[in-house]
Structure 1
């Protein structure tokens, strides 16, 4: 597989045909998300760090930057890696290694140089006093210019202005003396930051019920087994995340407690490997909605409860027992995770692979151009399925077939039927089936 960032050179028909001939699958990360292509980004950082180091020592003009990059790439190709026994330089496509006999290296000369003189000295920015004008400040600077050498060892002047936090944006609109909020998504919902705040606050009963439901899901999905904690074994921490879910009008309808693992403590190659997982692009969802509106298809919405708990782990991951739910009989034991859990590096990928296998069993095939759009056709009956993490859109022209898909998904996963699609990913869906029109707000 080749994962790219949607650059034009990766989207040409000639290049895609060449990949197919070589048996290479093209994966495209969403626009403006280079962090999803971590391998390439880390490689770019390595290259540029070496280039900056070389250019800071060499007394060369800035336009030699490209030659420094080529030199760095050549050096890295001579360095052995863990993946293969030989260096990239030893295994070129022509099976030929060319070594120059003559060359003059000037490392010693560059090492003993102080610097290249290419750095830029930045002048200190003097902030204006609150009650001063630009003219007064310029006159003061003219009067205070010292004559003769100055002491450069003096500490930098720090601003005495008091930092004021910005006001909370509520988009309050006043009409005829009445004030209302036009964007309810920005209202502070007073969500607890940790377990202690949740159990001590005025809404503790609702948060306790939400945590009990989350733990029950863990046991129902057989997410972990309690095992003895071996000395020296690395364990991953966990914490509770509390969220109040609102509807399209901003009203709270669900208290959600999520147990998440502290995935930032995981070690690559030990308790996780691949992490990439595709999601449906927003423009793909908009296109599918437009197609459904034009052909007057049904548009239904479903939500997967605790989706990530369905993914099976292939690595050995150990986690501490969750706060507030430590087993009284075995307080010193740790949880050996059998299924993925929210917060793990590989959680999203494990869930996506699990879902893909299940929908394939039901006869769906994945779109070649969009990894999270599935289609199933039988004669004149067509059904589409769009997946965005744990949100599902079902579209089709036959209600019994859609009901069969719902029933199948309900057998495979814990599902929540949301009926006709009205609100997904922050988008309100407004539909006029008589005119075959659809509006997205």
Structure 2
């Protein structure tokens, strides 16, 4: 039954588990046992099953974007998806989101039961997704003939540069006019790769769409291992710790990994981020930390800055500090456990003595703020008297305004040359990622 469901709906083998689960779910509720004349569901629950919510497996549907992604005013509020089953723990449906390439469970789904992907109507579904998960295998009857042998060779470098500039939807005819093998020039078994499918496969191939729940799951995924190694490399560059003997007169704070997928403005996953954090809830006041307060910019302050920039007709820019809290110096003597899964093979019982703050420590936000505050004051900036996250530097006829929101920095000037100087200045002190003109910040979309 599961095999028929996949074949009939032209879905890749990647969905075999979902098809099997859905087939079992349906059989338990509709197949009547000859002797008892009841379904398995009736035997177990002592009541007849409700099948009014059933929908055809593989049908087209639309799932509500429930606020996880930042939507613009005119962006679609739902994503096109493929219906693949029913949740076993709730009343939700299981769907495959064609935009994020993730299986979701949601009760906010609208179905088009009459639209099923058939073998002769490939345009109803994204063929690129099916090919990406199918491993590039096609049957002989579905092969598309090539024109010339030389046309299937690798394109020159100049042509590859255009791939990122053009995203084109490819429509497929409902019926292919098959050509006899004798009339085909070249190898008919070679597949045709379109620009849109190439872009999709590249994105799927180098990013894991699944967030691991613990370190054991993460160590089974090469992409998350790379993400954890990148975090540890950042520790090395920032000189965060020193490997020392475990102290006998002071407690050691535990560490754990936190895994998150980073989306872009459209909600597409663009990065796997692994963060090593300290279990700060075990810290003792007066021993592991002292002061913890750090100011954070209010949304009203951000809006006032944008209004000020609009009034004086200058562009605000944005940059992000990579691993900001790792830049803050701490005064207390703090020891933490080695990263789970990455213990030193020679000294597995040693611990890290921190020289800088670590995410999760209670004093980490304050340590980062003081580091940035001292740096800006040294460079001639004045701290705001009311808003201590606002910094101003006056020039002869111009002004440079800098607003701090934890690790995000918004800045602008009546003379854009001062913005370039500030970007160069702060990039020389911290590891930054320049994001250019401010376009999206804390749920606000800014058009410039």
* TM-score, L = length of structure 1: 0.56
Q: Secondary structure at the match of 2:286?
A: coil
CA RMSD of aligned residues (A): 2.5
Which whole-Å CA distance do the structure 1 matches of 2:342 and 2:299 have between them?
Answer: 39
Higher alpha-carbon Rg: 1
Partner of 2:281: 264
Q: 1:197 aligns with which of 201, 212, 217?
A: 217
Residues 300, 173 of structure 1: CA spacing in aligned structure 2 closer, same or farther, 3 A cutoff? farther
Which whole-Å CA distance do the structure 1 matches of 2:113 and 2:386 have between them?
Answer: 52
Residue correspondence of structure 1 range 26-41 to structure 2 within 5 A: none
Cα drift, residue 169 of structure 1: 5.2
Residues 171, 270 of structure 1: CA spacing in aligned structure 2 closer, same or farther, 3 A cutoff? same
Which whole-Å CA distance do the structure 2 matches of 1:175 and 1:357 have between them?
Answer: 60
Cα drift, residue 170 of structure 1: 7.1
Residues 166, 390 of structure 1: CA spacing in aligned structure 2 closer, same or farther, 3 A cutoff? farther
Cα drift, residue 177 of structure 1: 8.1
Residue correspondence of structure 1 range 110-189 to structure 2 within 5 A: 165=90, 167=92, 172=109
1:299 has 2:316 as partner: yes
Residues 209, 330 of structure 1: CA spacing in aligned structure 2 closer, same or farther, 3 A cutoff? same
1:312 has 2:339 as partner: no
1:224 has 2:241 as partner: yes
Q: Deviations over 1:93-140 (max 9, x none)?
A: xxxxxxxxxxxxxxxxxxxxxxxxxxxxxxxxxxxxxxxxxxxxxxxx
Partner of 2:436: 419
Q: Secondary structure at the match of 2:247?
A: coil
Partner of 2:424: 407
Partner of 2:402: 385
Which whole-Å CA distance do the structure 2 matches of 1:234 and 1:278 have between them?
Answer: 29
Partner of 1:324: 341
Q: Deviations over 1:204-257 (max 9, x none)?
A: 222111111110111111100011113342000001111111111100111111
Partner of 1:62: none
Q: Deviations over 1:395-416 (max 9, x none)?
A: 1111211111111111110000
Partner of 2:86: none
Cα drift, residue 172 of structure 1: 4.6
Partner of 1:61: none
Contiguous gaps of at least 5 residues in structure 1? 1-163, 180-187, 432-441
Equivalent pairs, count:
260
Cα drift, residue 383 of structure 1: 0.7
Cα drift, residue 378 of structure 1: 0.8
Q: Secondary structure at the match of 1:430?
A: coil
Which whole-Å CA distance do the structure 2 matches of 1:392 and 1:170 have between them?
Answer: 38
Residues 170, 349 of structure 1: CA spacing in aligned structure 2 closer, same or farther, 3 A cutoff? farther
Residues 287, 209 of structure 1: CA spacing in aligned structure 2 closer, same or farther, 3 A cutoff? same
Partner of 1:430: 447
Q: Is the 8 A contact 2:91 2:107 kept in 1?
A: no
Which whole-Å CA distance do the structure 2 matches of 1:166 and 1:391 have between them?
Answer: 40
Q: Secondary structure at the match of 1:226?
A: strand
Q: Deviations over 1:382-401 (max 9, x none)?
A: 11111110011111111211
Q: Deviations over 1:54-108 (max 9, x none)?
A: xxxxxxxxxxxxxxxxxxxxxxxxxxxxxxxxxxxxxxxxxxxxxxxxxxxxxxx
Q: Secondary structure at the match of 1:296?
A: coil
Q: 1:394 aligns with which of 391, 411, 420?
A: 411
